[in-house]
A and B are shown apart, each in its own frame.
Chain A
Amino acid sequence: MGQETTEGAIREILATYGRLKQSAVDIGVDADLFEAGLDSQAVINVMLAIEERFDFEFPEDRLNRATFATIASINTVVERARAAA
Chain B
Amino acid sequence: MSDLNAVSTPHIVEVGPPSMPDEVLKAARDAAADVDHDGRFPAESFWALRDFGMLGALIPTSCGGQGATLARVAADCQSLGAACSTSGMVLAMHHVQVACLARHALGAPWHTAFMRRVASNQLLLASSTSEVDIGGALRTSSCAIEQHRTWFSVMKRASAISYAKDADAILVTARADPDAASSDQVLVVLERKQFTLEPQNEWDAMGMRGTGTGAFILTGKGGVEQIFATPFADVAASTMVPISHILWSAVWTGIAGDAVARARAFLRKKPPAADGSLPHGAVALAEAVEQLQLAESRIKMAIAAFDWRTPTTPSFAAAAADNGLKTGVSEVCLAVTQQAMAVCGFAGFARKGPFSVSRHLRDLHSAPLMIANSRMRESAARLLLAQKPLLGLD
- Chain A interface residues (CB < 8 Å from chain B): 20-21, 32, 34-41, 44, 47-48, 60-61, 63-66
Contact = CB atoms under 8 A, between A and B. Distances in A.
A40 B379 contact: yes
A48 B384 CA distance: 11
Nearest to A51: B386
Contacts of B314: 64
B317 interface: yes
B317 A65 contact: no
Contacts of A32: 184, 231
Contact of A41 (B176, B184, B231, B382): B382
Interface of B: 139-140, 176, 180-184, 231, 233-234, 237, 312-317, 379, 382-383, 385-387
A63 B312 CA distance: 12
A34 B184 contact: yes
A37 B382 CA distance: 18
Contacts of B312: 64
A60 B385 contact: no
Contacts of B184: 32, 34-37
A38 B183 contact: yes
A58 to B, nearest CB: 8
Given A35-B231, A64-B314, 14 more contacts: A21-B181, A32-B231, A34-B183, A35-B180, A35-B181, A39-B139, A40-B139, A41-B382, A44-B382, A48-B385, A60-B387, A63-B315, A64-B315, A65-B234
Given A60-B315, A65-B313, A36 B181 contact: yes
14 contacts: A21-B181, A32-B231, A34-B183, A34-B231, A35-B184, A36-B184, A37-B182, A38-B183, A39-B140, A44-B316, A44-B382, A47-B386, A63-B386, A64-B316
Contacts of B386: 44, 47-48, 63
Contact of B237 (A36, A38, A60, A65): A65
A63 B313 contact: no
A37 B183 contact: yes
A83 B316 CA distance: 24
B378 to A, nearest CB: 9
Contact of B385 (A20, A34, A44, A61): A44
Nearest to A20: B181
A77 B46 CA distance: 50
Nearest to A65: B313
A44 B383 contact: yes
Contacts of B379: 40-41
B320 to A, nearest CB: 11
Contact of A63 (B180, B183, B387): B387
Contacts of A65: 233-234, 237, 313
Contacts of B181: 20-21, 35-37
A72 to B, nearest CB: 17
B141 to A, nearest CB: 12
B15 to A, nearest CB: 29
A36 B383 CA distance: 21
Nearest to B183: A39
A37 B314 CA distance: 20
Nearest to A38: B183
Nearest to B237: A65
A32 B313 CA distance: 15
A32 B140 CA distance: 16
